[in-house]
Amino acid sequence: MPKEGKSLYSAKLLINDIPVTVKSKRIKNMYLRVRAPSGDVEVSAPKQCSLNEIESWLFERHDWLIKQRERIAMQPVQPELQFVSGEEHKFWGKVYTLAIALKKRGASVSLNDNKLQLVSLPHYDAVQRKQVLDRWYREQITREVEALLGIWQPRMGVYSSGFGIRAMKTRWGTCNIRSKKIWLNLELVKKPVECLEYVVVHELTHLFERYHNARFYALMDEFLPDWRERKKLTNEFI
């Protein structure tokens, strides 16, 4: 999605006992998010929208809010990873068992059958081992994104100025319309590759149409007819 502006002000609303944080931004449309695992609700709204207008908009979506909060509440709480042998870690939608090997030099990661082999220096703690794995994840997703852009940019007839990979809490990707640069969430490396492909096409489509409107969705239908199924998989795959 296109990059949102900075928040101009923040306010609180109560929608049938559901607390909602409202952030006013220099944007055209309203966006509603339910954060996992807390179930906290946030709305980004155009600066010209009054709180009464936002409240009415939220009441129209009350049933959806309830369902989303219930879905999040039913999801199992993921234990905090310790990066020790025997843990399960995801890569391109598959689950691998982590195997730690201690060596004096050459921290690295490799795949061996159903195991994710992480070579760690003896003094490395969980944070440092995570950094080693994240570095490997970044290399893998970068390689895949380069391949996908090589396919989709000429197919769509639009070209980004480049891309970046970073950790994001609430989005799978963003597109800076002015610079034509796209950013992708590092967590996508843990999901099936078709999820990454969906997000790449989604962000490239923003170079044709900035907003999520009828034209945008028509373009998505043209470029990637099964994008709705891929979006659902992206948001639901655990």
Predicted pLDDT at 117: 97
**pLDDT tier for residue 7 given thresholds of 50, 70 and 90:** low
Report the alpha-carbon distance of residue 93 to residue 194 in Å, rounded: 10
Residue range 34-75, pLDDT digits in tens: 887 788 999 999 989 999 999 999 999 999 999 989 888 887
Check whether 13 has a pLDDT greater than 60.
Answer: yes
pLDDT for 237 equals 57
Say yes or no to pLDDT of 135 above 60.
yes
**pLDDT of residue 2 exceeding 80:** no
| Residue 31 pLDDT greater than 80, yes or no | yes
pLDDT band at 199 (very low <50, low <70, confident <90, very high): very high
For residue 215, give the DSSP letter.
H
Tokens of 215: 């034209």
| Lowest mean pLDDT across 81-85, 139-143, 168-172 | 168-172
The confidence band for 1, taking pLDDT boundaries of 50, 70 and 90, is low
Length of the chain equals 238
The number of CA neighbours under 13 Å toward the Cβ of 107 is 15
Residue 25 confidence (pLDDT): 87
Mean pLDDT, the chain, whole residue set = 92
Structural domain boundaries of the chain?
A: 7-74, 138-236
Report how far residue 149's alpha carbon sits from residue 147's, in angstroms, rounded to the nearest whole number.
6
Q: How many CB atoms lie within 10 A of CB 12?
A: 9
| 162 pLDDT more than 60 | yes
- Cβ atoms of residues 11 and 53 within 8 Å: no
CA separation for the pair 188, 165 (Å, rounded)? 10
**How many angstroms separate the CA atoms of 32 and 176, rounded?**
20
Higher pLDDT, 107 or 35: 107
Task: Answer whether residue 5 shows pLDDT above 80.
Answer: no
What distance in Å separates the CA atoms of residue 71 and residue 50, rounded to the nearest whole number?
A: 30
SS3 call for 24:
strand
- At 202 the pLDDT is 98
* DSSP assignment string, 26-52: S-SS-EEEE-TTT--EEEEEETT--HH
Q: What is the pLDDT of residue 213?
A: 93
For the chain, what percent of residues have pLDDT higher than 90? 78
Which tokens hold the place of 174? Answer: 């963003």
Which of 5-9, 40-44, 94-98: highest mean pLDDT? 94-98
> Quick one: tokens of 96?
């691998």
Predicted confidence band at 3 (pLDDT cuts at 50, 70, 90)?
A: low
Q: How much is the average pLDDT of 127-137?
A: 98
- How far is CA 184 from each of CA 12, 45, 117, 170, 172, rounded to the nearest angstrom? 30, 23, 25, 12, 6
- For the residues 98-108, what does the mean pLDDT come to? 97
- Residue (of 234, 128, 135) closest to 190 by Cα position: 234
Task: Give the whole-angstrom CA distance, residue 199 versus residue 140.
Answer: 16
For the domain spanning 138-236, the CATH number is 3.30.2010.10
Q: Supply the pLDDT for residue 120.
A: 98
164, 181 in Cβ contact below 8 A?
Answer: yes
- Torsion angle in degrees (nearest 10) through CA of 199, 202, 206, 208: 140
